[in-house]
Amino acid sequence: MKIKLLICVVAILMLVPMALAAQGLTLDCPNSAAPGAKVSCKILLNEAYSGSGSFGAQFVIDAPDYKVDLNADGSYVTGTGSIIGDSKVLGDPVVLLKLSKSQNKGEIATFNLFAPSSEKSHLITLKNIKQGATPLADSTATVKVQKAVDPPKCAADETLTAGKCVKNTQDKTPQQKFIEDVNVDTSTQKKDTENKLNFISLLAGKLKIFFSEMGWNK
- Residue-level pLDDT at 91: 92
Taking the C-alpha atoms of residue 97 and residue 56, their distance in angstroms, rounded to an integer, is 4
Dihedral sign (CA 90, 93, 99, 101): positive
How far from 98 is each of 55, 56, 82, 181, CA to CA, in Å? 5, 6, 6, 69
Q: Which residue has the higher pLDDT, 152 or 195?
A: 152
**pLDDT tens profile 34-67:** 999 999 999 999 999 887 788 889 999 999 999 9
**pLDDT tens profile 181-214:** 655 555 555 566 666 667 677 667 666 665 666 6
- Residue-level pLDDT at 173: 64
Q: Which of 84, 118, 95 lies closest to 25, judged by CA?
A: 95
Task: Output the CA angle 46-59-49, nearest 5 degrees.
Answer: 35
User: What CATH class is the domain 25-145?
Assistant: mainly beta
- Residue-level pLDDT at 119: 94
Contacts with 79 (C-beta within 8 Å, 6 or more apart), sequence order: 85, 96, 97, 98, 108, 109
- Residue-level pLDDT at 16: 34
- Residue-level pLDDT at 182: 55
Residue 51 phi, psi dihedral angles, 5° rounding: -145, -175
Residue 138 near residue 24 (C-beta atoms within 8 A): no
Taking the C-alpha atoms of residue 111 and residue 125, their distance in angstroms, rounded to an integer, is 13
**pLDDT tens profile 6-25:** 233 233 333 333 333 346 89
pTM assigned to the model? 0.59
Q: Which residue has the higher pLDDT, 215 or 12?
A: 215
First-to-final CA distance of the chain: 143
- Residue 218 binned pLDDT confidence (cut-offs 50, 70, 90): low
**pLDDT tens profile 78-121:** 999 999 988 889 999 999 999 888 899 999 999 999 999 999 99
Mean pLDDT of 148-176: 74
